[in-house]
Amino acid sequence: MFGFLKKKKNESVESNNEIYAIATGNLIPIDKVSDPVFSQKMMGDGYAVIPESGEIFSPVKGKVLSVFQTKHAVGLRMANGLEVLLHMGIDTVELKGSPFDVKVSEGNTVDSTTLIAKVNLEEIKAAGKSADMVVVLTNMDAVKSFELEKNGAVTAGEAVGTATAE
């Protein structure tokens, strides 16, 4: 009798499987990231964007789970339950938050138009660090499929792939 409610719920989850470009720049598959922790998919599958500017947007529609104390990373959860780590730069934890102006807090609802942080890319590069902005699906045991559909030049907020939950 109430099957129509279940259908709407499933449609809602299905429509929230998109992954978005977090910045305007050059998108690369995660296996091309210079840090082996990411490139060998030790933390999960994903992608990175080498940004043209320091405006970094949410890679998914969902909620902010955590903002790391050093501001270099933000944890997010999609409505379908998949967890995403947005890691800003390589080895940037050592910079103790200096180049990052995080604009979100735990519990905030986000989508592809939500500015997560403004990042001083020049400060990252001056410290000898890579400014690759990495997006990782961290609970791979819950991932049914992950497909990266774009590569190369992307615009912030552009759909670049999908991640579906089991």
Catalytic residue among 38, 87, 114, 124: 87
State how far the Cα of 162 lies from the Cα of 117, in Å rounded to an integer: 23
CA angle 96, 103, 14 (to 5 degrees): 115
* DSSP for 52-87, written as a single string: SSSEEE-SSSEEEEEE-TTSSEEEEEETTS-EEEEE
Share of the chain residues as helix, strand and coil, in percent rounded to the nearest 5: 20, 45, 35
Which of 136, 123, 115, 60 lies closest to 92 in space, CA to CA?
123
State how far the Cα of 162 lies from the Cα of 145, in Å rounded to an integer: 8
**Which element (helix H / strand E) includes 7?**
helix 3-14
Told to judge if 72 belongs to the known catalytic residues of this protein, a careful annotator would answer no
The residues assigned a catalytic role are: 87
